[in-house]
Chain A
Amino acid sequence: MAIALTMPALSPTMETGTLAKWLVKVGDEVESGTILAEIETDKATMEFESIDDGVVGKILVDEGTENVAVGELIAVLLEEGEDASAADSIAADAPATKPAAKPETSAEAPETASEPAPAAAPAPATEKKAAPQPVVAAAPKGERVFASPLARRIAEQSGYDISQISGSGPRGRIIKRDVEAYSPSSAATAFAGGVSLEGDAPYDVVKLSNMRKTIAKRLTESKQTVPHFYLSVDIELDNLLAARKQLNAMSDEYKISVNDFVIKACAAGLMKVPAANVQFMGDVMHQFKRADISVAVAIDGGLITPVVRGADQKGLRQISEETKDLAKRAHEGKLAPEEYAGGTFSISNMGMMGVKQFDAVINPPQAAILAVGAGEQRPVVKNGELAVATVMTVTLSCDHRAIDGAVGAEYLAAVKMFLEQPSAMLL
Chain B
Amino acid sequence: MTAQKFDMIVLGSGPGGYVAAIRAAQLGFKTAVVERAELGGICLNWGCIPTKALLRSAEVFHNMKHAADYGLVADQLGFDLDKVVKRSRGIAAQLSAGIKHLMKKNKITVIEGSGKLVSPGKLSVEKDGKTTIVEATDIVLATGARAKELPHLKADGELIWTYRHALVPNTMPKKLLVIGSGAIGIEFASFYNELGSEVTVVEMMDRVMPVEDEEISAFAAKSFKSQGITIKTEASVTKLDKKKSTVVCTVEAKGGKSEQIEVDRVIIAIGIDGNVENIGLEENKIKVDRGHVVTDEWGHTGVKGVHAIGDLTGPPWLAHKASHEGVILVEKIARDKGNKEIKDLHPMDKGNIPGCTYCRPQVASVGMTEKAAIAAGHKVRVGRFPFIGNGKAIAMGEAEGMMKTVFDAKTGELLGAHMVGAEVTEMIQGYTVARTLETTETELMHTVFPHPTMSEMMHEAVLDAFGKALHF
Listed in ascending order, the chain A residues whose CB lies under 8 Å from chain B are: 148-151, 153-154, 157, 168-171, 175-176
Q: Which 5 A-B pairs have the closest CB atoms?
A: A148-B438, A150-B438, A170-B344, A149-B440, A150-B413
- What chain A residues lie within 8 Å of B439 (beta carbons)? 148-150
Contact B344 A153 (CB under 8 A): no
Whether, in the assembled complex, B260 has its beta carbon less than 8 Å from a beta carbon of chain A, the answer is no
Q: A148-B438, A150-B439 are in contact. List 19 more A-B contacts (CB 8 A).
A: A148-B439, A149-B437, A149-B438, A149-B439, A149-B442, A149-B443, A150-B412, A150-B413, A150-B440, A151-B438, A153-B412, A153-B440, A157-B411, A168-B346, A171-B343, A171-B344, A175-B438, A176-B413, A176-B438
Nearest CB of chain B from residue A244's CB, rounded to whole Å: 61
B462 to chain A, nearest CB (A): 13
Contact string, B397-415, partner A, CB cutoff 8 A, digits 1/0?
A: 0000000000000111100
Cβ contacts A to B, 12 pairs, < 8 Å = A148-B437, A148-B438, A148-B439, A149-B437, A150-B438, A150-B439, A150-B440, A153-B412, A169-B346, A171-B344, A175-B438, A176-B413
Cα(A168)–Cα(B346), bound, Å: 9
Could you say which residues of chain A place their CB within 8 Å of the CB of B438?
148-151, 175-176
In the complex, A74 Cα to B413 Cα: how many Å? 34
A156 nearest in chain B by CB position: B411
Complex-state Cα separation, A288 to B303, whole angstroms: 76
CB contacts (< 8 Å) of A157 on chain B: these are: 410-411
Report the separation of the CA atoms of residues A424 and B291 in the bound assembly, to the nearest whole angstrom.
98
Q: Chain A residues near B346 (CB, 8 Å)?
A: 168-169
Complex interface bits, B325-361 against A, C-beta within 8 A gives 1, otherwise 0: 0000000000000000001101000000000000000
Looking at the assembled complex, report how far the CB atom of B298 sits from the nearest CB atom of chain A, in whole angstroms.
15
The smallest beta-carbon distance between A175 and chain B, in angstroms, is 6
Contacts of A168 in B (CB 8 A): 346
The chain B residue sitting closest to A171, CB to CB, is B344
Partner of A150, one of B343, B344, B411: B411
Beta-carbon contacts of B439-462 to A below 8 Å, as 1s and 0s?
Answer: 110110000000000000000000
Cβ–Cβ < 8 Å partners of A169 in chain B:
344, 346
A153:B437 contact, CB within 8 angstroms: no
Residues of chain B within 8 A (CB-CB) of A154 are 411
Q: Which of chain B's residues has its CB closest to A170's CB?
A: B344
A170 to B436, CA, bound (A): 11
Residue of B nearest to A168 (CB): B346
A170 vs B345: C-alpha distance when bound (angstroms): 8
- Expressed in whole angstroms, the Cα–Cα distance for A151 and B438 within the complex equals 8
Residues of chain A within 8 A of B440, CB atoms compared: 149-150, 153
Q: How far is the CB of B362 from chain A (nearest CB, A)?
A: 28
CA distance in complex: A151, B440 (Å): 9
Q: Which of B411, B439, B440 neighbours the largest number of chain A CB atoms within 10 Å of its CB? A: B411
Minimum C-beta distance from B31 to chain A (A): 26
- Cα-based distance from A171 to B440 in the complex (angstroms): 20
**Nearest neighbor of A175 in chain B, beta-carbon distance:** B438
Nearest neighbor of A172 in chain B, beta-carbon distance = B344
User: What is the CA–CA distance of A171 and B437 in the complex, to the nearest angstrom?
Assistant: 13
Kindly list chain B residues whose C-beta atoms are within 8 Å of the C-beta of A148: 437-439
Give chain B nearest CB distance to A345 CB in angstroms. Answer: 53
For the complex, what is the distance from the CA of A148 to the CA of B412, rounded to whole Å? 12
List chain B residues, Cβ under 8 A from A175: 438
In the bound assembly, the distance between CA atoms of A176 and B440 in angstroms comes to: 11
A153 to B442, CA, bound (A): 10
Whole-angstrom distance between the Cβ of B326 and the nearest chain A Cβ: 19
Tell me, rounded to whole Å, the shortest Cβ–Cβ distance linking B264 to chain A.
52
Output the residue of A153, A168, A169 with the most chain B CB within 10 A. A153
Complex: A151 Cα to B413 Cα, angstroms: 9
Q: In angstroms, how far is the closest chain A Cβ from the Cβ of B374?
A: 19
